[in-house]
């Protein structure tokens, strides 16, 4: 039987989500990769247990996470039943819908038909009565935002979600959704965008929009899918994601890795001066100005989770360090 560490809340930082009553750990665990049906279940168990023991109370999923799609939620359902059921009220569990899940005209995007059906399926897979946060995973260009917002509002009123969020919406789209949610009285509290030193699009309007409306944010791909680690400091390892699959990520194509390598090496020197690894500094940098509520990390082994949490030991940047980083990133 799993018994959580009694000291799990001693060191973790918990940040308020916008102007809501909800708090999230500064580091959250995403189950996008390495928790699916093709992965070792016991490895996922070790990672989620260790994460919770370190004070990570937020586990983030989506209907299509796996592979195969749905299997991450199924495995998480097993973990809930076997390990985390006694701790359900201490956990923030989120899932999303927006990407392709089943054939036919109702299996993806942002219609009420799809979103309601998808959350019902997700709850069944995870063995839950409700999720804490339910997201629209991406904006649907062919469905009115009013319909997507009304669907999320309905799911809250049905008791299937406590809060709602959106992911990868632009600043203008976020403002539009926020206005609709306010008119409905929906607890819209969070946006989940990609954000890293090499991917700073949210600084161009989105962060201002979120702050103006009192909405929190949780950043995914904080390490540029591995580029902001020591993995590529000496080139592209054959067993790395960039080495195995040149199309895995726009950041991780061999040409992108090679053209960014000098910046990675320079950033690593800054991190060493701060007594941090490059990955630790990359996470700390995202949290540097309190504009981001939580950093959503992925992991394939326990040590990576431990390393990410170490970033919280040094969240302060001097003016000179920030200037140095900006100069490198230009």
pLDDT in tens, 192-221: 999 999 999 999 999 999 999 999 999 999
Task: Please give the model's pTM, rounded to 2 decimal places.
Answer: 0.95
Give the confidence band of 232 by pLDDT, cuts at 50, 70, 90: confident
What pLDDT score does 154 carry? 98
Residue 239 neighbours by CB under 8 Å, 6+ apart: none
Q: Classify residue 205: in a domain, yes or no.
A: yes
Look-up: residue for tokens 């969070």? 190
Q: pLDDT band for position 252 (50/70/90)? A: low
Q: Domain count of the chain?
A: 1
Give the whole-number percent of the chain exceeding pLDDT 70. 95
Pairing state of beta strands 294-297 and 131-136? unpaired
| Bridge partners of residue 137, in order along the sequence | none
H or E segment and range at residue 25? strand 23-25
CA angle 70/76/282 to nearest 5° reads 95
Q: What is the mean pLDDT of residues 9-21?
A: 98
pLDDT at 152: 99
Structure confidence at residue 235 (pLDDT): 75
The reply to whether 122 falls in a domain is yes
**Which CATH number goes with the domain that contains 78?**
3.20.20.100
* Residue 234 placed within a domain: no
| pLDDT for 240 beyond 80 | no
Q: Do 199 and 225 form a contact (C-beta atoms < 8 A)?
A: no
Q: How confident is the prediction for the chain on average, in pLDDT? A: 95
pLDDT single digits (tens) 274-315: 999 999 999 999 999 999 999 999 999 999 999 999 999 999
Please tell me the predicted confidence (pLDDT) of residue 246.
52
Is residue 245 in a domain?
no
Give tens-digit pLDDT for 33-54: 999 999 999 999 999 999 999 9
**Do residues 195 and 221 make contact, with C-beta atoms less than 8 angstroms apart?**
yes
Q: What confidence category does residue 242 fall into, taking pLDDT thresholds of 50, 70 and 90?
A: low
Could you tell me if residue 86 is inside a domain? yes
Q: In this structure, is residue 265 part of a structural domain?
A: no
Structural domain that includes position 40 = 14-227+278-317
* Alpha-carbon torsion, ordered 6, 12, 16, 21, to 10 deg: 0
Query: Under DSSP, is residue 30 helix (H, G, I), strand (E, B) or coil?
Result: strand
């Amino acid at each position: 039987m799993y018994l959580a560490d009694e000291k799990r809340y001693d060191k973790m930082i918990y940040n308020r989500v916008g102007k809501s009553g909800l708090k999230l750990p500064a580091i959250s665990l995403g189950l996008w990769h390495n928790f699916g049906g093709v992965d070792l279940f016991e490895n996922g168990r070790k990672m989620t247990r260790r994460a919770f023991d370190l004070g990570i109370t937020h586990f983030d999923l989506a209907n299509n996470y796996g592979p195969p799609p749905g299997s991450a939620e199924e495995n998480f359902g097993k973990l809930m039943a076997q390990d985390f059921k006694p701790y359900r009220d201490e956990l923030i569990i989120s899932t999303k819908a927006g990407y392709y899940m089943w054939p036919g005209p109702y299996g993806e995007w942002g219609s009420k038909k799809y979103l309601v059906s998808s959350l019902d399926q997700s709850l069944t897979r995870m063995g839950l009565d409700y999720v804490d946060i339910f997201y629209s995973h991406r904006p649907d260009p062919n469905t009115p935002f009013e319909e997507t917002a009304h669907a999320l509002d309905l799911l809250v009123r049905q008791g299937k979600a406590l809060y709602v969020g959106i992911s990868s919406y632009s600043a203008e789209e976020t403002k539009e959704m926020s206005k609709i949610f306010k008119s409905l009285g929906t607890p819209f509290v969070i946006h989940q965008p990609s954000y890293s030193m090499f991917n700073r699009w949210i600084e161009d309007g989105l962060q201002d929009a979120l702050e103006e409306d009192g909405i929190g944010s949780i950043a995914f791909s904080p390490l540029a899918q591995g580029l902001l680690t020591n993995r590529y400091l000496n080139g592209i390892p054959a067993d790395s994601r960039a080495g195995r699959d040149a199309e895995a990520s726009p950041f991780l194509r061999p040409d992108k890795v090679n053209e960014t390598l000098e910046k990675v090496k320079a950033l690593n020197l800054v991190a060493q001066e701060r007594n941090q690894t490059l990955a630790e500094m990359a996470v700390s940098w995202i949290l540097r100005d309190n504009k981001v509520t939580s950093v959503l990390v992925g992991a394939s082994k326990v040590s990576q989770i431990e390393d990410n949490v170490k970033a919280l030991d040094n969240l302060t940047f001097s003016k000179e360090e920030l200037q140095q980083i900006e100069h490198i990133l230009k």
